Every structure is written in C-alpha cells, then in structure tokens.
C-alpha cells in the first residue's frame, strides 16, 4: 500500500470507547501500511488526540447536530492543510451525515466506503423488527415508546431493556427502574426510545465487512467474557460457530451492505435459537481483535475505498482473546490550548510542510 493519509473519527477512548482507536491500531498493525493517520475528534479531551503512536495529527470537527454544511466546510478546511485520501467515520450518530456528503467528499478526492442511506435506515433499532420479519430472522419483541405511560401499557415481563435510538441501554427489573432509565435516556438522547424483550442466554458479537453487492469480505465472531456496567465487552474470545457467520452473511446479503458492521446476537439458553439484537453500522470498539485473529478488516476497507480488489477472508484463528485495559495518557497544557484555540494538534507535519 502506497503512502496515504487516512482520517478516522471516534477517537474517544474513554470507559465506553469509540471504535476509532481500534481502527487505527488495526491499520498500524498491517505490515503493508505506510502512511499518515489523522484523528477527527469532537472534544479536545478525547484521549485519542494525545496518542502520538496512533495519530500524526488530530482535528476537531463539529457535532453531527450542527448539520451537513458546517461538517463539509470543516472537512474541506482540514483537507486543504492535511490532504486526506480515505475517511472512516465510526460513530452511529455521525454516519448519516457522512453518507449524505460522500459524493461531495469524493469530488474532493476523499474516498469513503459507506452503506446506502436506505440500508442504513432499514437496520436502525426502530426498524429492525420489520427487517427480521421479512428475512426470517428471530428478534426480541421490541416497541418504540414516546412516553413513560407507554411502558406501563405494554404490560411486558421484567427484566427488559430500555434503549436509546443510537446509544445506551439499561436492563430494568421493575417499573420504577424503567422510569429512572427512561428519564436518563430521554435527557441524553431524546425521544423515541425502545423497549426490548430480555433474552436469557449467551451473547455474541460479530465484526464484519460487506462489499456493497451482498458479498461478505470477512467476519469474525466473538463471545463476550466480561462486561462493563453498560453491558459493553471488556473481554471476549473468538469462537467457532458457523451459525453466527451464516446469520451475518444473510444480513449483509439482504441489505447489500457496503462497509463495516457489528452484529449482536443472543443465543437463547432454553430454545437455543439465535436472536438478532442489533446491527451497528460501523466497526465496534473491539475491532482490533479481527486482525489479531487473521482478518484485518479496517485495512481491507481502506483498499476497497481506493478501488482495489480484495479477496474474501476464508478463516480466522479460534480462541484469540482480547482484554481491554485503562491507561493514563500524558499531555502538556499547550496541547490542550492548540486544540481549543486552533482546533488541531499536529504531532507530525504532513509531507511538504516544515515541522
């Protein structure tokens, strides 16, 4: 791979990390990768800004709620000073904006590898049940709610999950707990929210990459071994389970999915049926497990974004384990000042610019 510049969002490596740092680690892991990586951050305090072994520079970009015009203007300004070859958005809330401006980015010479808007909306949490019904996939009973009273009138059995449309989910065991979760999620993400049946069993996640025609370039399933209080994976291990791969391929084919995705599946402990819980339209935070198991999906995405042919991965290493850890990153006050005042922090100047 020739020397190129890749921009990656989602470098908020906090207790509930974004996927950006995992994507960057995967790219750096490749022996073929030669080039520059810049981080696109929403907050000056995102830890990824200060990871010099991850990013050569980082730039602040506007929040998704500020709209397409401001986002495009920001990307153009960054591109003028630090030319980008490939841009990898990695957060749910920003993806629709990037999908809508991908043609304009292409005219600037910035390549992306993103799904169509229709497919993005079909796999959304509030549309997932309809998608599963059309494709004969088991899914937990899910209802869209706009008020606390809706939970009461649904008369569902506890425990159950209250979910935000983009992020966060709380398992609740009573109406009082549901009321608290409703208030927290409503304040953070607004309405509507989702109420989902709880499936008792083993949880599996699959990181995968679709080529846009219905074919699967790669898929690596893992079983969650340790969870945070938000039910996010803190540790996981790759497993040999053809049923998980089969369901993932079925989803990619039905959606003609282009780009990365994470499929969350629950295996019911009693019926042994597999239930589709979510389809997340981006790499998961744990995506570094994929190259560790033999499928460097972020690297494959970059090659495909640049128009190169990529062969599908046929296998992965079983029993490859990841364990997440917390680590302090050191920075100087002047680094924060650069981000807050100038909106950027450059560790290494792009070629052609003086250090």
Query: Does residue 161 have a pLDDT over 70?
Result: yes
Which structural domain range is residue 248 located in? 119-124+199-323
Residue 262 falls within a domain, yes or no? yes
Same domain, yes or no: 274 and 244: yes
Say if residue 153 is in the same domain as residue 108.
no
318 and 246, same structural domain?
yes
Q: What does the DSSP 8-state code read for residue 339?
A: I
* Secondary structure percentages of the chain, helix, strand, coil, to 5: 35, 25, 40
CA distance 28 to 25: 5
339 and 315 both lie in a single domain: no
| pLDDT cut 70: percent of the chain above it | 98
Residue 352 lies in a domain: no
Quick one: pLDDT at residue 228? Answer: 79
Judgement on whether residues 33 and 91 belong to the same structural domain of the protein: yes
Q: Do 272 and 262 have their domain in common? A: yes
Indicate whether 255 and 316 sit together in one domain: yes
pTM of the model: 0.93
Instruction: Single out the residue of 79, 100, 114 nearest to residue 6, CA to CA.
Output: 79
User: Where a domain ends, among 174, 197, 220?
Assistant: 197
Report DSSP state, residue 338: I
The domain boundary residue, chosen from 161, 177, 197: 197
Structural domains in the chain (count) = 3
CATH number, residue 63: 3.40.50.20
Render pLDDT for 43-56 as a digit per residue (tens, 0 to 9).
999 999 999 999 99
By the 8 A CB rule, do 249 and 219 touch? yes
Tens of pLDDT, residues 291-332: 999 999 999 999 999 999 999 999 999 999 999 988 899 999
Residue 165 lies in a domain: yes
Which pLDDT score is estimated for 222? 98
Determine the pLDDT at residue 326: 86
Do 241 and 269 lie in one domain? The reply is yes
Q: What is the per-residue pLDDT across 1-18, written as a single tens digit (0 to 9) for each? A: 568 999 999 999 877 889
Let me know whether 212 and 310 are in one domain: yes
- Which pLDDT does position 355 carry in this prediction? 47
Question: For the chain, what is the mean pLDDT?
Answer: 94
191 part of a folded domain? yes
Say which range, 29-33, 68-72, 312-316, has the weakest mean pLDDT.
29-33
Q: What is the pLDDT of residues 101-133, one digit of tens each?
A: 999 999 999 999 999 999 999 999 889 999 999
């Amino acid at each position: 791979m020739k020397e190129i510049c890749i921009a990656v969002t989602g470098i908020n490596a906090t207790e509930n990390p974004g996927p950006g740092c995992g994507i960057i680690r995967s790219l750096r892991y490749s022996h073929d990768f030669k080039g520059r990586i810049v981080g696109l951050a929403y907050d000056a305090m995102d830890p990824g800004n200060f990871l010099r072994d991850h990013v050569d520079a980082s730039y602040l970009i506007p929040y998704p709620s500020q709209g397409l015009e401001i986002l495009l203007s920001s990307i153009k300004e960054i591109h003028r000073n630090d030319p980008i070859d490939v841009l990898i958005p990695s957060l749910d809330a920003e993806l629709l904006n990037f999908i809508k401006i991908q043609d304009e980015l292409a005219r600037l010479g910035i390549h992306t590898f993103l799904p169509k808007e229709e497919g993005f909306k079909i796999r959304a949490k509030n549309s997932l049940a309809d998608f599963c019904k059309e494709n004969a996939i088991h899914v937990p009973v899910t209802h869209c709610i706009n008020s606390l009273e809706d939970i009461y009138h649904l008369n569902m059995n506890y425990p159950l999950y209250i979910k935000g449309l983009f992020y966060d989910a709380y398992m609740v065991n009573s109406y009082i707990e549901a009321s608290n979760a409703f208030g927290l999620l409503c304040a953070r993400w607004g309405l509507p929210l989702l109420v989902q049946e709880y499936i008792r069993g083993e949880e599996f996640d699959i990181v995968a990459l679709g080529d846009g025609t219905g074919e699967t370039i790669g898929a690596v399933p893992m079983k969650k071994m340790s969870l945070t209080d938000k039910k996010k994976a803190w540790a996981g291990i790759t497993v040999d389970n053809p049923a998980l791969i089969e369901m993932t391929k079925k989803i990619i084919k039905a959606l003609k999915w282009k780009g990365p995705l994470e499929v969350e599946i629950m295996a019911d402990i009693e019926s042994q049926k597999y239930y589709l819980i979510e389809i997340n339209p981006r790499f998961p935070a744990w995506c570094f497990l994929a190259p560790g198991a033999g499928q460097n999906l972020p690297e494959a995405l970059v090659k495909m974004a640049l128009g190169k042919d990529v062969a599908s991965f046929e296998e992965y290493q079983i029993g490859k384990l990841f364990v997440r850890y917390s680590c302090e990153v050191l920075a100087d006050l002047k680094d924060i000042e650069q981000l807050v005042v100038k909106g950027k922090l450059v560790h290494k100047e792009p070629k052609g610019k003086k250090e």
